[in-house]
Structure 1
Amino acid sequence: MHERYGIWKESIQCLFEVNATKHVRENDFRTSIESHLFGSLMLMTVRSRQQQWSRSYAQIAGNGMDHYGIGLYKKGSIQCEKANGGTELPDGGLLVYDLTQPFKATTTDHETVNLVIPRPLIEDLIHQPDDHCMRYLSPTDPVVRIIRDLIVSLERNVRFLSRPQATAVEKTIPLLLANCLNTASGATRDTAHERQSITSMVRMRRYFRENLASPNLNPRQAAHDLGVSRSKLYNYFSPYGGVYNYIRDMRLRRAMSLLNDPLGKRSSIYDVALACGFSSDASFIRAFREKFGVTPGEVRNGAMVVDHQHFLFDDLVDKRFEDWIQGLN
C-alpha cells in the first residue's frame, strides 16, 4: 500500500505532475490505466482517486510532448485553475488539453477516457492552435456529442480494430475536433516569452516530420536549417536516444502508417522505403524487423505487430504505457 502512490506518480510523470493529500495517499490509494495504441493515437481509460494535476514549463521542456488530448469524464469532476469555455466541465461535455502549455487542475475520485492525438494530425486544421488548453466543449454542440459517442464506442471496440480501420479512425477524429475548436471562443494566449522555448521544440519536431523522406536528413543539416547549434539539437533529442534514433523511429512509424493505409496498397515496399527516407529496401526491411518483429510485407498482408518487450514476474509496474507515450509521433 505504501508504494502505490509513488509508483503512480512516477508512471504518469511522462504526462503530468500529480499531488494528493496524505489522507488520500495512505488510505487505499488506487489507480489504474488501461491503454491502447492504434495508429499514432492512444486511448487511455484512467480510474483514480482525487488529486491535483499540473503541467509546468519545466516539465514541457523536459519531455517534449507536443500532443493534444480529449478527456471524457464518465465519473467524477474536474476544476481548472484557468479554463476556456466556462468555469466547470458541463455534464456530457469534453475537456481539451494541449501538452505544450501549462495548467493546473483538481479532480475528485474519477473515471475518465482520454484520447491523445499527435499535434501534426490536427494543428494545421485549427485556426488558432495555441488557444485551446483546458478548453471545455459544451454538449449543446452536436459535433461534441458525436465525438463523445465516438470515444465511448472506441473504448468498447478499440481492441478489435484492424490496422486499416484504425487508420480510418485516426483521420476522422481530428477533423471533427477541429470543427469544434474553430467555433470555440474565449482564447487565452500566453506571452511570447513564455512560449518561446516550447515553440522552438515544436518547430524542431515539425522540421523532422516534414523532411523524413530526404535521405540527406542528418544532425548537421538539421542544425543548419533550424539555425541552432548541434549541441543544442543533441541535448534536446538525448531523451529519445539521440537525433539519429529519433529520425529512424519517426521514419519507421510513418512506414507503418503507409503500409496500413488502404489507399497505398499499390505502392511497393521499395516505394515505401524511399518515401520514408531509406536508401534501399534492404536497409528498410532490416530496421523495420528490428523494431516491430515482423517485415513490412508481413504487415501489409495483415500480420499483427507483437510487443517483444519482456518483463520479470517481480516487476512492480509494466512500463509499456510510458514507452508508448514517449514514442508517439
Structure 2
Amino acid sequence: MNANDAEEIWREALRPMYELRRPREAALSAKIKTWDFGAMLLTNHVVEGEVQFHRTRKKIATSGLDQYLVHCLIAGELTSEFAQGQQKVPLNSIAIRDMAVENVGFAVDAPMLTLSVSRAALDRRLPEGARLHGASWEASDLIGAMVATHLQTLARLATGMSAEQTYLAADATLDLLAACLLPKAQPGVKQSDPRLSPMLRAQASSYIERHLLDADLGPAALCKVLKISRTALYGLFAESGGVAKRVRDRRLDEALRRLTAPRHARERIAEISYSVGFVSETTFNRSFKERFGCTPSEARGELLVKAAGKVEQMPEDLVEAHQRKIKRLSA
C-alpha cells in the first residue's frame, strides 16, 4: 500500500469525529485498533509526529455523534483548546471530551487509549445536567492514575473476553468512571445563550434517556426541565426528525440492547417492548424493523447463536467497520 492510500484510510477512519490536519511533507505512521463493548468503544490510536484534531461546529452538526471521549495519554504530548481555555492532558491519566463541544487537540507523538462512551450510558449515572467536557486529573492524582490503569488493563484483556464478559466489563467500567467523575461534574449551563444549542440538545437527550418509561415524556416535560420554549425545543431536534422520533428511537435502542444482552435472555419480547414504553406489540415490531432492518425475534436469534458460539464474522472493510462502531454509540 502506498503512503497516500494509507493516509486516506487513516483520515477516513476518523472522519466522523474530526477534521484532521498534519504536515503534508511528513510520512504517516499510524495504527488504530478497536474493541467493541456495546455501550462503549475502546480504541488504541498511535500516530507519529504532529497532528491536529479539529472538532468544529460544522463537524458537530453533521457527524451525528452524541458521546464522550475518555482520553488516556500513554506518551508524547496532547494539548486541547476550547472555549474555557487550554488544557494539557497529563501522561498516564484521564481527560474527558464532550463531542457536542467545539475542541481542537494538538498531538505530538501521542499514542493514546480512547474510550468512546454513549452519552446516555454515562449521563444516567451522573447528576442531571452535569457538564464533563474538560474534566481531568493531574498526573500526580492517584484517582486519575487508577482509571488510566483500568483502561490499559481493559485493552490488554479485551481480545480474550466473551460476549457476556464484555457486557460486564462495560458496566463495571462505566460505574467506575462515573463514581470518579462525580466530584468533578459541573452544574448545567445557562439556557439563554443560543450558542449552547449542542449542549442543550445533549441535556435534552440525557433527560429522554433517564425518563424513557415515563408516560408523560414529551415536549412539555422537556421544555419545563430545560426552561426553553417549544419552538426552541423543536429547533434542537429539527435535523434529526423531531422530538417524538428521538423518544421513539431511544426506546427502540433500549429494546435492542435488552434483546441482545445475556442478562435479559429470559424476558419475552412482549415484556421488553412494554417495559420500554410501547403499548402495542404490533407498533413495536413494525418500528423495530424500520429502524434496525430486522424483527425483534431475529435480533434475539443473533444473541442465541452468539451464545452457542456459531457465529462466523465475514470479512469487511476495516474503515467502514470502525466508522459504524463509532456512529452506533450515538444512534
Per the TM superposition, whether the score is higher than 0.5 is yes
Tell me the secondary structure at the aligned position of residue 198 of structure 2. Answer: helix
Q: How far apart in 2 are the matches of 1:157 and 1:85?
A: 36
- Equivalents in 1 of 2:204, 2:185: separation in Å? 29
For these two proteins, the number of residue pairs brought into alignment is: 316
Task: List runs of 5+ in structure 2 lacking aligned partners.
Answer: 224-229
| Structure 2 equivalent of residue 116 of structure 1 | 116
Pick closer, same or farther for the CA change 1:187–1:299 going to 2, 3 Å: closer
Per-residue Cα deviation, 1:49-107 (whole angstroms, up to 9, x for no partner): 32111212232222232311111122322122359899533332122111111122211
> How do 1:1-329 residues align onto structure 2 when only pairs under 5 Å count?
1-24=3-26, 27=27, 29-49=28-48, 50-81=50-81, 88-127=88-127, 131-184=131-184, 193=193, 195-206=195-206, 209=209, 227-228=230-231, 235-237=238-240, 250-259=250-259, 261=261, 264-277=264-277, 279-280=280-281, 283=285, 287=289, 290=294, 294-297=298-301, 299=303, 302-303=307-308, 311=316, 318-329=319-330
SS in 1 for 2:303: helix
Structure 1: which 5+ residue stretches go unaligned?
A: none
Q: Distance in 2 between matches of 1:291 and 1:128?
A: 34
- 75-84 or 31-40, which moves further after superposition? 75-84
3-state secondary structure, aligned to 2:53:
strand
Question: Would the alpha carbon gap of residues 156 and 150 (structure 1) be closer, same or farther in structure 2, given more than 3 Å must change?
Answer: same
Residue by residue over 1:198-219, the C-alpha shift from the partner in whole angstroms, topping out at 9 and shown as x without a partner, is 13422553465356558999xx
Question: Aligned-residue CA RMSD in angstroms?
Answer: 4.3
Moved more, 88-97 or 127-136: 127-136
1:136 shift after superposition: 2.9
Higher mean Cα deviation, 129-138 or 96-105?
129-138
- CA distance in 2 between counterparts of 1:102 and 1:191 reads 18
Q: Under a length normalisation based on structure 1, what TM-score does the superposition of the two structures give? A: 0.75
Deviation sequence 1:114-169 (CA, Å, 0-9, x none): 11111122224445865432333235433323322221121122233333322222
Deviates more, 1:36-45 or 1:289-298: 289-298
Contact 2:82 2:102 in 1 (8 A): no
Kept in 2, the 8 Å contact 1:36–1:42? The answer is yes
Q: TM-score, normalised by structure 2?
A: 0.75
Name the stretch that deviates more: 271-280 or 101-110: 271-280
